[in-house]
Structure 1
């Protein structure tokens, strides 16, 4: 069972050079992703005088996030695994692929990376960063379930292309698939709740703009979806009966 593989980690791990390098890689990858993703929406809004929420703005956001995540995962893959998302880290933890201590380091790095990216965007553009928000006809429970479903698909894709030991040498396929599923989900959920799928991506704009309206949805939904994906994939698709128990994500 995946739950039996959950590990807290050793105290020394919090200060181990490899863990700190991995956290730094997560920080940089998250800055890259949020700066490009959030910045694309701000740029489109400026060029179209408020058209970021239009159909063309949604397509632009989808493409920008897909490309940016492809790059962010690629540059971090060999160092930290390229999570760039607390929900991915949580899913990996639930599946026993990363320790709690290293996961906490990742979360801190991801949240800081998002905040720094939003502060940089606010400084260089002179524009405010907008927090994720629900459309007027969407309830918090609609958005909550939507975030669960979208994040489940994202983390399931991460497991299938990056964590599964049977994956073989997929090269750029893993980061490409991860970027594409996020881009596709934005086309689905962007008009309803912004399609976060990533608590860090929601946290940075919310903190910088100090707008916490319905912010819990963008934490609870992705974490539940990511955790469920980790459980389902580990339970039904990965056979570790003859493998040594891992302590960190290796992808």
Structure 2
């Protein structure tokens, strides 16, 4: 059972060199990802003079996020696992693949990375607004809530299948590609409705820098619930007794 494998971790983990290196890797990876993804949206707004979203803009966003996440996961995979997303970290925690204390380090690094990326974008673009995620006209908060749950379920399920599952074999080498692809595909689906976040850190940075918090809870609750369900489902049905727990030093 996944819940039995949950580990809190030791207090000294907060200052352990490996944990700090992993946190730094998450910070850098998230910064790179958000700078590319959020930056593509700002570039589109500048080119269209803040025009409405078009199919071309949606494709641009999907490509920028897909490519950016592929790189971000790849460069962090050997250090931190390349989570780049609090929902992925939460799913890994529920499956017993990361301790609570290390997860808090990851969350802090991811939120800081997103915030710094947005501050750099605002400065380097001459003060352009970092647009916070928002619901499209006619889309209610509960519509977006379910959309975020489903999209993040697909993302975290893909992470488990290609990167976490101990039986993944050669799939582990293409994990960053698969993860980038599912995010790009989901943006093509949900981008026109609620922006398709799937990542609380990606939503947090722009919201903080622009100080726009409308319906922000949707972009936390939806991804965390979707990611948690995906982790529990995959771990329970497909990993099961073959689960490899954390090393005893992490408990």
User: Normalised by the size of structure 2, how large is the TM-score?
Assistant: 0.96
How is 1:44-63 mapped onto 2 (pairs within 5 angstroms)? 44-51=44-51, 53-63=53-63
Q: Is the 8 A contact 1:99 1:247 kept in 2?
A: no
State the partner residue of 1:86: 86
Query: Which position in structure 1 is the counterpart of 2:222?
Result: 221
Q: How far is the alpha carbon of 1:244 from its aligned partner?
A: 4.9
CA distance in 1, matches of 2:72, 2:241: 29
Q: Do the aligned partners of 1:199 and 1:222 also contact (CA within 8 Å) in 2?
A: yes
Alpha-carbon displacement from aligned partner over 1:209-238 (angstroms, at most 9, x marks no partner): 000000000000000000000000000000
- CA RMSD of superposed structures (Å): 1.3
> Does the CA-based 8 Å contact 2:166-2:244 persist in structure 1?
no
Whether 2:132 is the aligned partner of 1:140: answer no
Mapped partners of 1:26, 1:154: distance in 2: 18
Secondary structure in 2 matching 1:60: helix
How far apart are 1:247 and its partner, in Å?
Answer: 5.0
SS in 2 for 1:63: helix
User: What residue number does 1:236 align with?
Assistant: 237
Matches within 5 A, 1:191-230: 191-230=192-231
Matches within 5 A, 1:168-179: 168-170=169-171, 172-179=173-180
**Aligned counterparts, 1:1-251, within 5 A:** 1-51=1-51, 53-126=53-126, 127-170=128-171, 172-241=173-242, 244-246=244-246
SS at match of 2:138: coil
What CA deviation, in whole Å up to 9, does each residue of 1:2-45 have, x standing for no partner?
00000101111111000000000000000000000000111111
Q: Call closer, same or farther: CA 1:33–1:247 in 2, change over 3 Å.
A: farther
Secondary structure at 1:170 match in 2? helix
Distance in 2 between the 1:43 and 1:235 partners?
Answer: 43
Query: Conserved in 1, the CA contact under 8 Å of 2:26 and 2:80?
Result: yes
Q: Please list every run of at least 4 consecutive aligned residues from structure 1 whose deviation after the TM superposition is greater than 6 angstroms.
A: none
Measure how far apart 1:77 and its partner are: 0.2
Aligned equivalents of 2:103, 2:220: Cα separation in 1: 16
CA–CA distance in structure 2, aligned partners of residues 82 and 106 of structure 1 = 10
Q: Which runs of 5 or more structure 1 residues have no equivalent in the other structure?
A: none
Larger CA deviation: 86-95 vs 167-176: 167-176
- Compared CA separation, residues 247 and 218, structure 1 to 2 (3 A): farther
- 1:221 and 1:17 map into 2 onto residues whose CA distance is 33
The Cα shift of 1:239 comes to: 3.0
> What CA distance in whole angstroms lies between the structure 1 residues aligned with 2:239 and 2:244?
13
- Contact kept in structure 2, 1:42 and 1:52, CA below 8 Å: no
